[in-house]
Structure 1
């Protein structure tokens, strides 16, 4: 199963790369180059050393498509046969570069200790050596031996890859899935091969592509200086040297000599950039869907929009935040589809759903902070009467002062290199016109506001000196530095123990009462919704499936998904009885069906549910639902 998932991930990355025109052109050129040089006799009727002294320094003709050189040799033939030595040189240097760089980079980062010290110091020493000079020394010892020169260059280039992969491995080895793999009994080699290396595949490919581009230029430079393939053997560098000697008589020779080399270098660079960008999008989409990669490509997903009535489509005039038909795409894949919600001044609204439903991406979309190069492709985000969707300048003005954000992981919300008080003071000075002394005093007030004991002492501490609960309090204080009118809290208690969770929730309630701040609370805990929220918005598979006031929703949910979530609430568990669960999992964005997205998990589902997209309806005032069985749900709840 793990190998299948890895294969699907690679396939998804390849599709994202090939959706970029520049990447397609680059790949096409490289494939053509390899094919043409490998099968050179099929593309030319002349040998690389065959002379035609009657046609010297000719331009392109029917007999010689790229012309001839000073000895009448066919330039196309010499270009293709000379390309073989270039490709062999790239392959040799790249193989050495990757074997040494990947092996030592992973080993240093994963094992640490004396292994890390030894590898790092060795890499530093290699950095200090003048690479080109060392290559020239090797060629002086082994004259004309391009293989030795390229192997040497691969060794000298590997320290750069070692440092990059070491830094990445140091981060990955601290993640929980690595600890889980150790607990499961996997060997160090298995962990590196199955769990660490796949996470860095895109980085390795990008670095390899860029290094290959450098090797092409180095190999050509050595050929130009006469240190590579010895005349009359063809090489790209030798072609450039021949063209430079005849530039006054046949300037055309520079075109077949130099253009292929330039195109190859550019193609490798473009391919590296495309792979990097595609890898970022692939990671972001997989994070937003919280599902295994693979499945249908984005272009096969039908465009589905909620058919809301006019009351839902128009922004609420009295709302502080009014989101209408918000649609978000990451890497061309729709992950949020037609979301609408309102938050009134001073109100607390819960955004509820399982992991992978699009709650966090929606909250980040409201702030214009969509991960992975994502973008809003439709809808409106109206804050205090101003539409900020697609308006970076307007959004920048309201971040911090209008809307603030608290993430679910406090340990990534603060900079570990700065003391707590300095970070708070910096935020205060950004939003207030005050001197350093006034900013520091306000920072201490904020720490006191979130009930930090001894604010002055805590202000001098760094992130690693704080507990999880204290770090979350500091993160909340940082969010309050600009005195926002709306706080988006994305599961702010998920990473905390039960006792600290209650303290943080109580703190949010107290701050709201004191400041009149509105709160959009992203959560999957119905106990939190019942405790803090006045209204709730339930999301499933990128869509809003139900909205209602909390009392009405708890009494009579009008969507089967909402009812299933409430039935599975651990707070309702009875000792000795199995807790009800919803079968199946939330579909990933590329798996969204054309009909009701919950139908596959719903015990009320009929053929009609899967036939077409289900619109959002308003069966009773103040409540909306996305279910064709709403009539029977109303009757069961005694609402009709």
Structure 2
């Protein structure tokens, strides 16, 4: 949606084109990737050995027997004993608990801070994004080692607490990754389509944003885990960890102290750290390759019984459906503000089709977005009056707007393929708004979706219902969007260039379908277009826009026969409907001086 807004107002701040995205499932292709399988097996063995340490050895990791100092492998010490007679195998197994737990704490804290803040900053942007990004930059600017040393001096040699501080230090990296992932998908048209359908922010984030975040977050978590294990071992090696507990870092400390006496003490803890960190790194790479290749199937949602329409919405009144007076839309610019819609007034009655016509950049789409309440965050709108069915839209909050959008005010965008989420089946995307607004059960919503697909002229509704967007054509996708727009029986339908991306024959079918549905349901319809042929075919009344202003409003028949404004006459003169056909070209003589001559 916002892409069309950007085209409609060149030079204004708009949404950047969203990057194409892929989603992955955590357990799919990774299990068929040999490197991933080997890494998972190794990590599982390390974790299992640490958890089951009491079952694998009866020795204590902290009990010292000076008589067994530097004991060789064998007998009661399968891997030998260290400088004070402690069993190396027991310290290795129990030390894995400390090292792995420390890594888990650091990653958990980093994700608990980084993921929610990244979602909030990337989705809502504005001042919240600026504040959180500034705090993240502040944390990243601080020297990590100095922060850890100061925290150890303040809270004492507590390994778990130190790992929690490390998690705070790692959180900005997770925040920036999540924020970038959310920003890349937030401007996708299917996210806007979900917002137009009246879905709340929480549901949109859960269904359309989180699946995008999961793959890079899982990959980074594996990498952070490896880093945390190394840093935890380093802290223990320096003797700054919890006293009296076995850990891989403490084993390295003892081994280095006796490097010339018994260098073999380095082998066990060194191999444990290298294998764990290498497995985590290789697993992260395998997950990155596998998760980004696998599409997530549509998720099924449990049904919720209920009434057919939200009770908080006002009763339908007279035929005056939408009233807009002196609407103004502005964007910040270097020299102050740039006005893209200036003083637009518009009225739509129930059962009436109003065409909003003008060249690209005239402010048509921005007017539609202002009515829907879907301007970009930097956009600002104001109006003397903006009411729908007697209700002041200016006074509504986000939740109340969502209750209207998709339910009583619907939207049909251009670029149909971009407004369907590629990771969900068509049926899933159709039933979500119905279940939210109409409180239908899953079965009821499915039956209505199939009936709507059949009504909009899709010959195989069952197949299309279970298909992904890439499996259907552009014309069929537009019919799907129209079915979704009318699924909750709206009173007002805003169609923004609904035939632009379609060929001529499909355009005619879509226009006929819109007109039939509009008459059947007695909807008000705003048709945003630059095509006067479409206007003549479907509109009852026309408002012509130029440079953000409505220069002429008239019934469609009179506009074509008696245009009053010079700009309207210029637009009509630019069409080719009344132009005489060109005469054929006559081939120039072989010896002529010109190649061809127009008769």
Larger radius of gyration: 2
When normalised by structure 2's length, the TM-score is 0.47
When normalised by structure 1's length, the TM-score is 0.44
Q: Which has the higher contact order (CA 8 A, sep 6+)?
A: 2
